[in-house]
Amino acid sequence: MGAVAAEVEPLFSSTHAALVFAFNFSHQAYDRPVMNRMADGPKRSGKGLVGLDGAGQAGMIRAAVDALGREEAMVITARFAPRRDRCPCRRDCCSGWVPGREWRAATDHLTEYVLRMALAGTVSHYRLRNGIVRRVFGDDVKLVEIAEVASVNRDTVSDHAKRIAKHLAGIEGRAMKAIDEKLYTDGIVER
């Protein structure tokens, strides 16, 4: 007797949706107790992305990202990881938010990377590069502010911003193509 192959429905409609889910999956999202689930009766339709199922799916997607090259993984992390985390300190000086741990690590790594690659042969202030990289990945910072903080001419900031944005866009394009293919091949996303 031959085995019947079960057709598995992809969990996500796009790679973007899968990455948003994986980078924003809450480690606090616990599944309901077994007794409560059994009392519900017939199972409802859905993707089942809560508790351990959700953690497992998020982990598989994150592992696929980590399998890319270092800069490709950092670019995807900078694009999809939460930019802000809640700050529980409750001090008067605190706004209640801090830069997201993963997002900041990725942007800090890319700040050093762009010096070697996008700006090779130039002298560049760390705060200038970091401000531009953060801006590329969604931080609300203006080039004029970056110029003031780094004490650099606005034309220099504009030139650096163009070069950095172009270089990072190339990496991001390759990374998204690679992760899209991997997640499609693994049956995680639809086409």
pLDDT in tens, 109-135: 999 999 999 999 888 899 999 999 999
User: In 3D, which of 177, 149, 87, 161 has the Cα closest to residue 118?
Assistant: 161
- What lies within 8 Å, CB to CB, of 47 at 6+ separation is 11
The 10s digit of each residue's pLDDT in 163-183 is: 999 999 999 999 999 999 999
Q: Report residue 12: phi and psi, to 5°.
A: -125, 145
Q: Residue 43 and residue 118: Cα distance in Å, rounded?
A: 53
Q: What DSSP character marks residue 86?
A: E
* Whole-number pLDDT of residue 5: 54
Mean pLDDT calculated for residue range 81-104:
86
Q: Residue 125 and residue 91: Cα distance in Å, rounded?
A: 32
Please give the residue that has the higher pLDDT: either 96 or 19. 19
* Whole-number pLDDT of residue 152: 93
Q: How confident is the model at residue 39 (pLDDT cuts 50, 70, 90)?
A: low
Cα 62–Cα 82–Cα 30 angle in degrees, nearest 5: 65
Annotated domain spans of the chain: 15-185
The 10s digit of each residue's pLDDT in 65-83 is: 999 999 999 999 999 999 9
Q: How confident is the model at residue 53 (pLDDT cuts 50, 70, 90)?
A: confident
Residue 3 has pLDDT above 70, yes or no: no
